[in-house]
Structure 1
Amino acid sequence: MNKHVLIGSVLGFMTMAAVQDAVAVELSKPNILFCLADDWGWPHAGAYGDKVIKTPTFDRLAKEGVLFEHAFVSSPSCSPCRNSILTGQQFYRLGPGANLRGTLEVEDPNFMVLLRDAGYQIGHWRKAWGPGDYGPGGYTEHPCGPESEFDAFMKGRDPNKPFCFWFGTSDPHRPYAEGSGAKSGIDINKIHVPTFYPNTKDVRSDIADYYFEVQRWDTDVGRAIKLIEEVGELDNTIIVMTGDHGMPFPRCKANLYDWGIRVPLAIRWGGKTNPDRRITDFVSFTDIAPTFLDAAGIQVPTEMTGSSLLPIMNGEAEGRVDKERNFMVFGRERHVLCQKSPSLEGYPSRGIRTDQWLLILNLKPDRWPNGVPFGGTSRYCKSSFSDVDPGPTKSFITGNPEYKKFYDLCFAKRPAVELYDCKNDPDQVKNLAKDPAYSTMANQLKEQLLNYLESTGDPRFTDEPVQFDDYPHLKPPHVVNKRNKKK
């Protein structure tokens, strides 16, 4: 054989082998399906013991994977929460991204972009990043990749590449079809009503309408999982199912109580995750990006304040696995524009949660925690207390003076410090901050919180300029699938 032909043949085989090796490496990386609901909070899933709501998809993931008992968002507001997920950082580190309808700075690490650059095919459906405008942050395309329905994405994807898909929804965000829960068969008389609401038919029916949309979301995720099963990729796919903060009700969404910042979280990774385990470690949404990057073999950027959950997920222990994960820090700045017109001010607050205690620091207690009763800023304040989405529960409490106790809990101004015993007061309605018997505990928690905020660069507790109240309230650059509600 001609030596040049021989050499060419050898080089050809070497090239083919290299290509095959590269494809094998890519295929060894797990796919990722990240399923995020809009306004779905803890503990509204069957796996957490709710006897009324039906969430078979979430319950299956919990059974076949890991159920997290103490999962918390960085901030109980859509844009800052989603920014914290993408960047793996606490919301207050993200400049204009710390507010609702802000932006996302292209300089901050973005796990979707990092996965794409490492060979992943990425995409999203319905609500992923936002709301806001990513243009001022330097992005020229959606931060979560192209938008498409998941079945179209699966049909059009390159089978030689792993994928990461952000499966979003606007369920169970308001508005609701009033009475839809009861009409679907939900028994409103069995609805659990938290102690900061009056237990009335109006309130129970409103919660049932929310349940109805949670159940619809659960069904959507079930369809997505079936598509992955049909192509034989289930056990090579990390599936995460959760919500971006608490339900859109008074004292929940946009608040730092458990009903605002604690969320359902189940993660399944077939063949890797030992199934049917309940974990009580405190985990944050800032841990999601490091987890995905770690699973893909990508170095986690040093800017990320979160840490990978793989050591917890892939172990065998239950309960408290990592003894260091025994507290969580979160906070908020501006939700909607709802302080006194024409102010751009928000309601800055920070909180720390341990197994037993919740401490909240309201940094501007002279402001209204859920917006002013009247005279708010701009067109976004179409009603009183505009940080709270309009709905029957809000209307009932604000429209019936005889329920002043609930009105005060949900809408009145709050003290600079709040302290709750979460074991004896799970709904966190009895503030112990002024009780001398608890002063030592309050001071210890405050010191722990401030140390964390300082060490992670919160501008309100460092020498950095504090600009949260100055950032613009941005409109989306375009509107695509604005509601995505099924009629």
Structure 2
Amino acid sequence: MITYTFQFLQSILKFGIVGMLSLSANPPSTPPERPNILFCIADDASMKSFGAYGDTFINTPAIDRLAKEGTVFENAYNGNPKCSPARACILTGKYSWQLKEATDHNGRFPLEFKTYPQLLAQKGYRVGYTGKGWGPGVYDTKDNPAGPEYNTIKLEPPYKGITDVDYASNFEAFLNENPKNVPFCFWLGTKEPHRFYELDSWKKAGRKLEEADVPPFYPDNEIIRGDLLDYANEVEWFDTHVGKAIKILEKKGLLKNTLVLITSDHGMPFPRVKGQIYEEGFHVPLIAYWKGKIISGRTVSDFVSFSDLAPTFMEVVGETPHPQMTGSSITKQLFDSRSGRIDSSRDHVLLGKERHDVGRANEDGTNLAYPVRAIRNDSLLYVHNIKPERWPVGNPEYGFMNTDGSPTKSYITSLKPDDDEYHFFEMNFDKRPEHELYNIQKDPHCIDNLADRPENAEVITKLRTQMETELIAQGDPRTLGQGDIFDNYIYYGKRLDYKTGKRIAPLKYIKKTE
């Protein structure tokens, strides 16, 4: 780890405080109304699965329409590519490494953290959520950190892998309870396209194998093409409910004064994507629509993070972001008339992960984190795998448990060293070097690691210094040499018996999310 003098650290912290003061002294102008907020978030949908981000074999007409009539953020990132830490960043406005127990997947949401739904409720907003809010994990408040639950209305899903919660109808029920002229903030979180999928549901949908677009880090065969098409069905289910929610707002005359944001917590539940610090895992969609307020047809290239959303929601409704929120509002980016880079200082983003799922054990303990910190700018991704001796996706003897079970996973993990396709296993499941460097413009799939080339040594030093300087200013325990704390937080999901390799019941807790 790079070391710093005490005076240097003081200067960093002083600069950070001065920067925050200067931002608060010149808040961006926002519309005067008390708008409604509809936040729509998919569970495990890659950015490239939406038509607004280029050619795709998946049909998302409702979201594509919002993108065309609103603003598309080209460089939005989740901060930590797994469900509960990514969602905690959204709710708290904090960076992943500042979340304490909530940094880990399936941990406890700290009671001390204020969430934007809680804060808006205190300011007179009605709040609620349907589907999946914050989770999986444990929380100690009466309601989910995303708000009171609206999941009672059910439907008959088209495929077995899809939940029976009628998200749009539950949203409408929430609105029907809403007193006149009371602004609302609602979290519409589908549980799709999270696994499991009904096997070969693509056949029911009338799809063809040749339609699928297979990423270059997978073998191209019928098993994987079919798995991708089953995934496509569930992404389209998310789009269906977004479209229904918009129609409900139109019918009730509420769309004109509602800010709609569309995103996903991270990339698709496939090997080398979900939970991994590669481009498709952490680069997320972010589409903003507000009729008459956000100019249509814009694309914004500023780098934004999930930690920026909570302070944005606070400012949009005319409130000051809570002091705990360390992200920076993007109201300027929402309401500017220009496309491209609005704020020149937003030219990079930091990313990280700690313990995601059980299934990793070394000589120094069990249920260990795979700590990573990374920095992504316009052209490069630098990744520091802090414990490269550990298995990044969990130990092989426990089934690589930080990748969801799937036909794709089964095929790749069945490959043997003498197989012609064994390099796919190495890309997806093998141990990784300490340093990784990718030219994202030339290599968006992060396949050609440039870190070991001597001509890139200076670039790596520069990026790592920038990254760790900012992480220290943000109080990252891992960068400050106190990262073992993340290994010691309790895991509240089904634990692993490391002697038998079997999952056992979770610990007792107050409230658990799905």
Structure 1 length normalisation: TM-score? 0.89
1:163 aligns to what? Answer: 184
> 1:275 is matched with which residue?
296
1:372-451 correspondence runs (5 A):
372-374=395-397, 376=398, 384-401=399-416, 402=419, 403-451=421-469
- Structure 1 residues 445-454 or 43-52, which shifts more? 43-52
Counterpart secondary structure, 1:125: strand
Q: Say if 1:27 and 1:161, in contact at 8 Å, map to a contact too.
A: no
Q: Distance in 2 between matches of 1:150 and 1:316?
A: 31
| CA-to-aligned-CA distance 1:226-250 (integer Å, 9 cap, x gap) | 1111110101001011100010001
Q: Give the conservation status (yes or no) of the 8 Å contact 2:130–2:190.
A: yes
**What is the correspondence of 1:202-221 to structure 2 with a 5 Å cutoff?**
202-221=223-242
Aligned alpha-carbon RMSD (Å): 1.7
1:52/1:191 contact within 8 Å kept: yes
> Match for residue 31 of structure 1?
36
* 8 Å CA contact 2:214, 2:220 repeated in 1: yes
**1:463: how far off?**
6.2
* 1:431 match: secondary structure: coil
CA distance in 2, matches of 1:409, 1:289: 35
| SS of 1:468 mapped into structure 2 | helix
2:470, 2:205 → 1: CA distance?
46
Q: Quote the Cα distance in structure 1 between the aligned partners of 2:321 and 2:291.
A: 23
Give identity over the alignment, percent.
42
C-alpha contact (below 8 Å) 2:136/2:512 kept by paired residues: no
Secondary structure of the residue aligned to 2:48 is: coil
1:44 corresponds in structure 2 to 49
| Structure 1 residue aligned with 2:149 | 147
Quote the Cα distance in structure 2 between the aligned partners of 1:56 and 1:477. 41
Q: Give the distance between the partners of 1:51 and 1:76, measured in 2 at CA.
A: 22
Instruction: State the Cα distance separating 1:310 from its structure 2 match.
Output: 1.1
* 2:119 equivalent to 1:114: yes
- The Cα shift of 1:465 comes to 6.6
Amino acid at match of 2:62: T
Aligned to 1:364: 387
CA drift of 1:276 comes to 1.1
2: distance between equivalents of 1:40 and 1:465?
A: 30
SS of the equivalent of 2:488 reads coil
Which residue type is aligned with residue 131 of structure 1? P
The answer as to whether partners of 1:71 and 1:265 remain within 8 angstroms in 2 is yes
Cα distance change on mapping 1:465 and 1:370 into 2, 3 Å: closer
Residue 485 of structure 1 corresponds to which residue in structure 2? none
- SS of the residue aligned with 1:451? helix
Match of 1:348 in 2: 371
Cα distance, 1:479 vs. partner? 6.8
TM normalised by structure 2 equals: 0.84
User: Which blocks of at least 5 consecutive residues in structure 1 are unaligned?
Assistant: 1-25, 377-383, 483-487
Offset from partner CA, 1:187-224 (integer Å, 9 cap, x none): 32132211111111111111111111000110011111
After superposition, the C-alpha distances for 1:92-133 in whole angstroms (9 at most, x for unaligned) are 101101011112222222111010001100001010111111
1:331 lines up with 2:349 in the alignment: no
Cα distance in structure 2, aligned partners of 1:238 and 1:373: 45
Taking the aligned partners of 2:110 and 2:275, their CA distance within structure 1 comes to 23
Give ranges in structure 2 of 5+ residues lacking alignment: 1-30, 151-169, 494-508
Q: State the one-letter code of the partner of 1:59.
A: D
